[in-house]
């Protein structure tokens, strides 16, 4: 390939492809133990956690598995307060100005006294939900982001504030 000025780029870029993100096995098992009842997993990628799994694209592992729906995390196609557990592992570099929209979508899907399990680099404060706990996924690498798994319990219906 030529660069501007007619010189040839001798570097040969090699791309490695892999399946869309899935929790490491230890994180998967940890979250599975927190789940209860009918479960929605938003931004599921290749994960098979949850009764209903929603993501932008169908991954190979999801193809023949019941419960997968193609959808947008900001426009969830479900009735409010339908799920006992809602799990979400959003894009970690999500812009600040849209984070609240996602959080309130997830809150609205969670039943009264249901739980929201949120894996991200930020810990949101959510109206009508009590922050139960935060778990830090430590790793053995010198420099790497850690996973913060926040667990919330819905203490008030969004229709009663």
CB-count burial class (<10 Å; 0-12, 13-18, 19+) for 97: exposed
- Residue 44, SS3 per DSSP: coil
Q: What confidence tens digit (pLDDT) does each residue in 94-120 have?
A: 888 999 999 999 999 999 999 999 998
Is a pLDDT exceeding 60 seen at residue 13? no
What pTM did the predictor assign? Answer: 0.81
The pLDDT mean for the chain works out to 85
């Amino acid at each position: 390939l030529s660069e501007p000025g007619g010189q040839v780029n001798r570097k040969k870029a090699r791309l490695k492809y892999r399946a869309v993100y899935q929790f490491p096995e230890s994180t998967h098992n940890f979250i599975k133990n927190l789940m209860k009842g009918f479960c929605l997993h938003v931004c599921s990628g290749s994960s098979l956690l949850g009764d209903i799994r929603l993501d932008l694209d169908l991954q190979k592992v999801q193809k023949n598995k019941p419960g997968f729906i193609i959808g947008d995390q900001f426009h969830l196609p479900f009735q409010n307060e339908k799920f006992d557990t809602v799990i979400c592992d959003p894009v970690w570099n999500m812009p600040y100005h849209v984070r609240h929209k996602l959080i309130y979508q997830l809150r609205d899907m969670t039943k009264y006294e249901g739980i929201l399990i949120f894996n991200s680099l930020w810990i949101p404060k959510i109206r009508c939900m009590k922050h139960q706990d935060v778990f830090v996924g430590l790793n053995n690498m010198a420099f790497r982001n850690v996973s913060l798994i926040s667990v919330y319990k819905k203490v008030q219906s969004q229709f009663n504030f």
